[in-house]
Structure 1
Amino acid sequence: MTYLKPLFRHPKLAKNKLGYTLREYEGALSTLCAGCGHDSISATIVQACYELSIEPHHVAKISGIGCSSKTPAYFLGNSHGFNSVHGRMPSVATGANLANKDMVYFGVSGDGDTASIGMGQFVHVIRRNLDMVYIVMNNGCYGLTKGQDSATADVGSVSKAGSINPFHPVDLASLAVELGATFVAQSFSGDKEQLVPLIKAAIQHKGLAFLNVVSPCVTFNNNSGSTKSYDYVREHMQTTGTLDFVPIKEEISAEYKAGTTMSVRLHDGSYMNLNKLAPDWDPEDRLSAVNAIQRARSRNEILTGLLYVNSDFGDLHETLKTNETPLNRLTEKDLCPGVKKLDKINSELR
């Protein structure tokens, strides 16, 4: 068996504005279990970056430890990547972002990597509003260590081994809204039609864009008693609304069924068009978003779609008032103030 993809591609494959085909956005052949939802998420990232015509080498992928954190090897093989320490992805992403703010950053994590050992880092990266797309591939179990329940496993859910989880789950989407994340979305790995525009909007958002994606573990958590199995999620999804992403400087058009339609303007002028289906829900109102999530939870439903967005709050660089030129491009001349200025600074410290 080979893990190398064939180099040949049909010469008439569709190309984006940069002249690239999807091949330029793919990565290595996945070694995850056949049918893993994580691979579906990787495919949507590939599709979103291709459609937005992002230069692959302008992307940095940072991950922690876990099945989910292996996935950066499987998408955007021509981009930069760093597989960091368990639960510490946000710290590494923060350092990289501060050094070069012109990159597109993907932070890839799992429910164990974020909701357990990485919870403290998750809280503070939201607090700082780091400009990156933070994706949690959430399967409710620890797939690398044979399927134990994770902190996001629902109370009463049954594992493949037959044990019943007695603990209430950490609801990452609800927590992200409460903590003040400026973009919060939730989706299902099997819903490419919804997930692609969400990722595209997250990339264009200025600040931390958090996506909690339910991604069933086909090996350890896809049994009939699991609340994160394919069948359960399909039967218990409630969508905030149908949506599409409209890039800047292109005609805004969308066709929707009956319902209230609204357009959410993102930081760069792009739009997320929404046909609101969930009752009493406004994606630009935090209280409305929290209430919609809680109502869905009370009905044992999983609320998917764009839950909350705030395009007016500045990212970490705006808060810190960092230099317009990325730090990694500053020369010695830019960084050294000169002898006279150094003497003045030193005299003020005496």
Structure 2
Amino acid sequence: MSYTRPTFRHPEQQRNDKGYFRRDYEGAISTLCAGCGHDSISTAIVQACFEMAVEPHRVAKLSGIGCSSKTPAYFLGKSHGFNSVHGRMPSIATGANMANRDLLYIGVSGDGDTASIGMGQFAHALRRNLNMNYIVMNNGCYGLTKGQDSATADKGSAGKKGTPNPFESIDLCELAIELGASFVARSFSGDKQQLVPLLKAAISHNGLAFLDVISPCVTFNNTATSTKSYQYVREHSEATGTFDFIPLQREILTRYEPGTTQAITMHDGSLLYLEKLEQSFDVTSRRRSVDKLEEAKENGRLLTGVIYVKPDSQDTHDIINTTLRPLNSLDQSDLCPGSEVLAAINENYR
């Protein structure tokens, strides 16, 4: 059986501010299981990039190995892409980012790809605050190898095989805050209303924007005993608030009353509005954010939404003071300025 995407499109379909149609952000037809949460995340990425008028040729998609790492083929088909080996997406992203800082980097990984074999690479990308969107499609199991528990599976949670997980889980959001990520959020693949503005805010953030998206595996981990199932997440999620993202180029019209909203200015001047459900929760406080995650876990809740943001974030290029020009554009005269310059540098160390 063969199938293709229909070529017919509505003649009055909308263009974004850069003149692109939504179809320009789509990719190949998904081969994932029907109902997989990963496809919903791919759709949210398409929607976010279309609404923000991101130019597809300015995006680089990077991934590792796993069901999640297949998804870059399903969105932004006209963008750059590189599928690395298991757990090594962050190092590939680092090298590409160092070579060309002008691209928008979207790194896609899974809970196994990040929390197990790729943990070391994940940690160093965070502490360097690499300027990229790091998206983990988190289903709590290894879907490509028949559903074994991953490192993010909650203790006592049981998938299709019915055996409760005996080990403590890794909370990637809490770890991301502690290791230096400057934007941390969690969402649910089934909550497009929350996920799309979070993605748009992450795209505008300067530094590493980490998104942990709970994405149930419909084949191996969508049982009533699993804490990563559709039913469990819908019944136990606790949002930090409701969100609205306002791009810089649009007129800013706030509709919130003073004292109920936290407005976060991104590095490009765009605004992320957080309408807080709990007034004491300050998402710009690392310590308060970690405490909030722990409080939610103690109460058997899954905290979603914006969890931590550092508005004055410096990315890797800012930290090590690289040239504003992409390194791949430097020529011989830039890289080898001559013996006189080298002599002057050596003289400084005498």
With normalisation by structure 2, the TM-score equals 0.96
Aligned residues: 350
Distance 1:275 1:293 in 2: 18
Give deviations 1:201-251, integer Å, cap 9, x for gaps.
000000000000000000000011101000000000000000110111422
Find the counterpart in structure 1 of residue 156 from structure 2. 156
Shifted more, 254-263 versus 3-12: the winner is 254-263
Find the counterpart in structure 2 of residue 83 from structure 1. 83
Unaligned runs of 5+ in 2: none
Give deviations 1:146-186, integer Å, cap 9, x for gaps.
00000000111112011111111000011111222100000
CA contact (8 A) 1:259 1:276 kept: no
5 Å-filtered alignment, 1:294-305, equals 294-305=294-305
Q: What SS does the corresponding residue of 1:42 show, helix, strand or coil?
A: helix
Find the counterpart in structure 2 of residue 227 from structure 1. 227
C-alpha deviation, 1:131, in angstroms:
0.1
5 Å-filtered alignment, 1:206-221, equals 206-221=206-221
% of aligned pairs identical?
64
CA contact (8 A) 1:239 1:278 kept: no
5 Å-filtered alignment, 1:170-209, equals 170-209=170-209
Distance 1:242 1:276 in 2: 7
Q: What SS does the corresponding residue of 1:225 show, helix, strand or coil?
A: coil
Distance 1:177 1:121 in 2: 16
Distance 2:76 2:207 in 1: 22
Distance 1:292 1:76 in 2: 35
Distance 1:225 1:257 in 2: 41
5 Å-filtered alignment, 1:313-328, equals 313-328=313-328
Residue 123 of structure 1 pairs with residue 123 of structure 2 = yes
Distance 1:253 1:302 in 2: 31
Distance 1:256 1:187 in 2: 23
Residue 8 of structure 1 pairs with residue 8 of structure 2 = yes
Distance 2:243 2:346 in 1: 57
Paired AA for residue 27 in structure 1: G
Q: What SS does the corresponding residue of 2:71 show, helix, strand or coil?
A: helix
Paired AA for residue 224 in structure 2: S
Find the counterpart in structure 1 of residue 58 from structure 2. 58
Find the counterpart in structure 1 of residue 138 from structure 2. 138
CA contact (8 A) 1:244 1:254 kept: no
C-alpha deviation, 1:343, in angstroms:
5.9
5 Å-filtered alignment, 1:225-304, equals 225-255=225-255, 260-278=260-278, 280-304=280-304
5 Å-filtered alignment, 1:14-33, equals 14-33=14-33
Q: What SS does the corresponding residue of 2:35 show, helix, strand or coil?
A: coil
Q: What SS does the corresponding residue of 1:251 show, helix, strand or coil?
A: coil
Unaligned runs of 5+ in 1: none
Shifted more, 278-287 versus 233-242: the winner is 278-287
Find the counterpart in structure 1 of residue 94 from structure 2. 94
CA contact (8 A) 1:152 1:171 kept: yes
Distance 1:279 1:162 in 2: 41
C-alpha deviation, 1:3, in angstroms:
4.6
C-alpha deviation, 1:347, in angstroms:
8.7
C-alpha deviation, 1:311, in angstroms:
1.7
C-alpha deviation, 1:291, in angstroms:
1.2
Paired AA for residue 91 in structure 1: S
C-alpha deviation, 1:335, in angstroms:
1.8
Find the counterpart in structure 2 of residue 37 from structure 1. 37
C-alpha deviation, 1:119, in angstroms:
0.6
C-alpha deviation, 1:5, in angstroms:
1.8
C-alpha deviation, 1:320, in angstroms:
1.0
